Chains A and B, each alone.
Chain A
Amino acid sequence: MLSEFLQFLFSGVTVGATYALAALGFTLIYNASHVINFAQGEFIMLGGMLTVAGVSAGLPLPLAIALAIAGAALVGVLVVRFAIRPAKGADVVSLIIITIGVSLVIRGLTQIALGKGTHSFPAFSGSEPLRVLGATLLPQSLWALGVTAAVVAALAWFFSRTLTGKAILATAYNRLAAQLVGISTGKVLYLSFALSAALGALGGVLVTPITMTSSDVGIMLGLKGFVAAVLGGLGNGLGAVVGGLLVGIAEAMAAGYISSAYKDAVPFVMILFLLFFLPRGLFGARVTERV
């Protein structure tokens, strides 16, 4: 009984770590620009796929990973330069469509350059499963969780202790005021997208040894990451991480205890119910609307 529950929990937490990183990425960009970046899932995909490309070109794994994350960050910068910046002032719906267009372009180009097959690369420290109280856990899952936790801690430090981090927060809070105190909100935009892309790519790299990657993994991951971000209250970093883990665990528990057929519906049912009772998500701020 316990071992079953633990197994579901481990499975949920592993996949939840990816959702958490995706959700963090969504939150970062939303904070900097109020854009819902539907291309977030593609950054996750790029992490995995670019690493695969690097490895098959003969690069050692750590170098391939570093280049992949840098590559994704570069793509993030390009997205801002060519799709977000030119559309300044567009309304919410238009921005959503733009990011969807961007995700199609990224996915299409990846398919052309790297093909439509499924790929993987070796786990960081072997794939012998660990036995914990009757359930099994892959070492790679521990990597995924550990690195995610480290990243969250690093981000928390970044946003509260460094000037750049505080600049990003300031822009999120009130764009005009931030500009008035001399913060370059343009640079903040570039930085948030690059950082968010890097985070997504990192998430992709961490789980590819477990889940494999292909050019279309981004779609579902992006959607579920969005759900996780909204669950935690859009704009709240800690909420995003908690949301991601919750979504992952809920999915696994539903698959294990209720019905595996409706597993995919679980995050969406969750979000609907939650929003009906907590319209701003778990940690969302109470906002007053200015007329």
Chain B
Amino acid sequence: MRKSRYPGLLALSLFLALLPLALPNAYTYDVVVRILINAILVMGLNLLVGFAGQISLGHAGFLGIGAYASAILTVHAGWHPLPAMAAGAAVSGLLALLVARPIFRLKGQYLTMATLGLGIIISIVIANESAWTGGPDGMSVPALALGGFELSGEKRWYGVMAGLLVFCLWACQNLMDSPFGRAVRALHGSEVASQVVGVNVGRYKVAVFVLTAIFASVMGSLTAHYVGFLTPGVAGFFHSIELVTMVVVGGMASLYGSLVGAALLTMLPQLLATLEGWETVAFGSILVFTMIFMPRGLVPMLAARFGRGH
């Protein structure tokens, strides 16, 4: 009844191992690394938006917290990158915990508004506290170094990120198939029904929210170290929208869909970049088009088309 996940994971690992043969220069590696980072991020967000069915339009806020925590603690306080990342994750997790209970009492559009507000407040704080964050002009972030091994350069990041992606995919699949995952999926279907069968809806929503927040925070820290430079835009409204769009375009509640969504939407601005002046119109049109013709997302639509019934 339950399909084995391993063929899929194996195929992905093989693909990632062979991909470098097709990448001609550091720029293409750069695009791929960004896709990998986004893919992990989007998988995490999918747990909340796709599986648990809770909209969050402010998730870039947690990303920002992780990114700036890493930046501030390594630059201003001289911490080692890994504890800084952990600190960022802790702050994100705590914040998520604090606001989750009151937020999840809200329904529908009110929930959307609350997450939106949270994200924007975080980005405004980051932009204003320029003594710590460098303000709107941003700040530099040193490279991630573990002992003697410095993680810099697109090729090394590729290796690490590819491995991390496969691991996270496996972990998420595992999680969603576990009793925890089933409870989460149940509450998306019908909250009342799940409560009737004994699922503590409130507690699971909070748990997924906190988990996704920590995910986002860690990926934010990694992004900061990879790009080497941060601006408050990483926590902004548009970035949150981009992330949710990746989830939806790829396929809600589809982990492989998250990979596809991340890949497509990370590459799209690069592809549209030569369209002098028409990029905004093109991007907007593609969003509208995709949502109208593939409302369930790309991967579920393809799966349905080819009859595999996911």
| CB–CB A83/B292 < 8 A | yes
Q: A91-B295, A105-B281 are in contact. Are A226 and B190 (CB under 8 A)?
A: no
Q: Which residues of B contact A281 (CB under 8 A)?
A: 110
The reply to whether the CB of A111 lies closer than 8 angstroms to some CB of chain B is yes
| CB–CB A108/B288 < 8 A | no
- Give chain B nearest CB distance to A224 CB in angstroms: 10
Q: Which residues of A contact B106 (CB under 8 A)?
A: 275, 279
Q: Which residues of A contact B144 (CB under 8 A)?
A: none
The reply to whether the CB of B203 lies closer than 8 angstroms to some CB of chain A is no
- Interface size class on chain A is 35 or more
- Give chain B nearest CB distance to A273 CB in angstroms: 10
Q: A101-B285, A108-B280 are in contact. Are A94 and B248 (CB under 8 A)?
A: yes
Q: How far is the CA of A82 from the CA of B248 in the complex (A)?
A: 20
Most buried by A among B49, B116, B279, B288: B288
| CB–CB B117/A271 < 8 A | yes
Give A39's nearest chain B residue, CB to CB: B284
Q: Which residues of A contact B102 (CB under 8 A)?
A: 275-276
The reply to whether the CB of A57 lies closer than 8 angstroms to some CB of chain B is no
Give the residues from 117 to 135 in chain B that come closer than 8 angstroms, CB to CB, to chain A: 117-118, 120-121, 124-125, 128
Q: How far is the CA of A36 from the CA of B108 in the complex (A)?
A: 11
The reply to whether the CB of B107 lies closer than 8 angstroms to some CB of chain A is yes
Interface string of A254-272 (1 = CB under 8 A from B): 0000000110110011011
State which of A86, A89, A226 has its C-beta within 8 Å of the C-beta of B113.
A226
Q: How far is the CA of A287 from the CA of B193 in the complex (A)?
A: 18
The reply to whether the CB of A280 lies closer than 8 angstroms to some CB of chain B is yes
Give A85's nearest chain B residue, CB to CB: B292
* Total CB contacts across the A-B interface at under 8 A: 136
The reply to whether the CB of A142 lies closer than 8 angstroms to some CB of chain B is no
| CB–CB A280/B117 < 8 A | no
Give A276's nearest chain B residue, CB to CB: B102
Give A98's nearest chain B residue, CB to CB: B291
State which of B99, B105, B128 has its C-beta within 8 Å of the C-beta of A279.
B105
For the complex, count residues of B whose C-beta is within 8 A of A. Answer: 47
| CB–CB B284/A87 < 8 A | no
| CB–CB A264/B124 < 8 A | yes
Give the residues from 251 to 310 in chain B that come closer than 8 angstroms, CB to CB, to chain A: 252, 277-288, 291-292, 295
Q: Which residues of B contact A153 (CB under 8 A)?
A: none
| CB–CB A111/B283 < 8 A | no
Q: Which residues of B contact A92 (CB under 8 A)?
A: 55, 108-109, 112
| CB–CB A272/B110 < 8 A | no
| CB–CB B117/A268 < 8 A | yes
Q: How far is the CA of A112 from the CA of B278 in the complex (A)?
A: 8
The reply to whether the CB of A230 lies closer than 8 angstroms to some CB of chain B is yes
| CB–CB A269/B121 < 8 A | yes
Give A86's nearest chain B residue, CB to CB: B292
Most buried by A among B99, B105, B192, B285: B285
Give the residues from 54 to 105 in chain A that come closer than 8 angstroms, CB to CB, to chain B: 82-83, 86-87, 89-98, 100-105
Q: Which residues of B contact A100 (CB under 8 A)?
A: 241, 245, 284, 287
| CB–CB A230/B121 < 8 A | no
Most buried by B among A103, A226, A279: A279
The reply to whether the CB of B237 lies closer than 8 angstroms to some CB of chain A is yes
- Give chain A nearest CB distance to B129 CB in angstroms: 9
- Give chain B nearest CB distance to A82 CB in angstroms: 8
The reply to whether the CB of B172 lies closer than 8 angstroms to some CB of chain A is no
| CB–CB B113/A275 < 8 A | yes
| CB–CB A93/B109 < 8 A | no
State which of A97, A102, A264 has its C-beta within 8 Å of the C-beta of B248.
A97
The reply to whether the CB of B16 lies closer than 8 angstroms to some CB of chain A is no
Q: A91-B295, A276-B102 are in contact. Are A98 and B288 (CB under 8 A)?
A: yes
Q: A92-B55, A276-B102 are in contact. Are A105 and B112 (CB under 8 A)?
A: no
Q: A107-B280, A269-B121 are in contact. Are A275 and B110 (CB under 8 A)?
A: yes
Instruction: Jot down 22 A-B pairs with beta carbons below 8 A, ordered by A.
Output: A90-B292, A93-B248, A97-B287, A97-B291, A98-B292, A100-B287, A101-B283, A101-B286, A101-B288, A105-B281, A105-B284, A108-B279, A234-B110, A261-B128, A264-B120, A265-B125, A268-B116, A268-B118, A271-B114, A272-B99, A272-B118, A291-B193
- Chain A interfacial positions (CB closer than 8 Å to B): 30, 36, 82-83, 86-87, 89-98, 100-109, 111-112, 223, 226-227, 230, 234, 261-262, 264-265, 268-269, 271-272, 275-276, 279-281, 289, 291
**3 closest A-B pairs by CB:** A104-B284, A101-B287, A108-B280
